[in-house]
Amino acid sequence: MIKSGKQAKIKGGLAESPSHLMHRALQLALDIYAEEAGPDGLTQRQFAVLEAVAARSGLTQTDLVKATGIDRSTLADLVARMTTKGLLERERSTLDARAKAVRLSPEGEAALLAARPRVEVADKRIMALLPKSKRDSFLDLLCSLSDAADAVPEQARAEIKAAKKAAKEAKKAEKAARKGDGKSDGRGKKKKKGEVIADQPQADDAADAVVVPLKDAAEG
């Protein structure tokens, strides 16, 4: 187990990468879970879905995404397979006619009851790898990261909304600017309705004029 502090600083590189260390920790946790659940047991994601549905029956798939953190496409496929296996049942939501509500089937409830003691053993094995004095703080940190993950979609939606508003305002300003240019006479002066701007002689035209002597002009 890689420790923080001097050991991490000495090793450097991956030893100081939170994303790498969390990935390693996740691999360890999933390996322990698989050992305790057994080859015929629920996968970690299946267990998470069943627990979420057990806590609140009638969840839609959108609700399950929020409850489990599993991405939408993966969850849709997972729920479909669990329904085929008889672990879940789907029906039309009473709150949203366009959505399907999910609830535990008798088989799903039995599978969840059988899995809970195994998952508890797996969790205890994982926590036993840490000093007792750090276990509570470790769970607190995991909860903080989980809360941050839950906040990401809301923040993304807020940023998208702000970007759309800014684009709309920019388009409105551009339209107003084009409208103002259309009323200009080309020299920065706006002409009144019905007014004709006469062409003014240019300096170059005056320079090209022919000068006729007064005497020649009189004889002509």
pLDDT in tens, 134-175: 999 999 999 999 888 888 766 555 666 677 778 888 888 888
pLDDT over 70 (residue 213): no
Mean pLDDT of the chain: 79
Contacts of 200 (CB under 8 A, 6+ apart): none
pLDDT at 62: 85
| Distance of alpha carbon 22 from alpha carbon 164, whole angstroms | 35
Name the residue with higher pLDDT: 213 or 69.
69
Provide the percentage of residues in the chain whose pLDDT is more than 90. 44
pLDDT over 50 (residue 192): yes
Name the residue with higher pLDDT: 17 or 210.
17
| Distance of alpha carbon 166 from alpha carbon 13, whole angstroms | 41
Among 62-66, 107-111, 119-123, the minimum mean pLDDT is found in 62-66
Rg (CA), the chain: 37
pLDDT at 2: 46
Q: At what angle do helices 18-37 and 44-55 cross, to 10 degrees?
A: 80
pLDDT at 150: 81
User: Model's pTM, two decimal places?
Assistant: 0.63
| Distance of alpha carbon 25 from alpha carbon 9, whole angstroms | 19
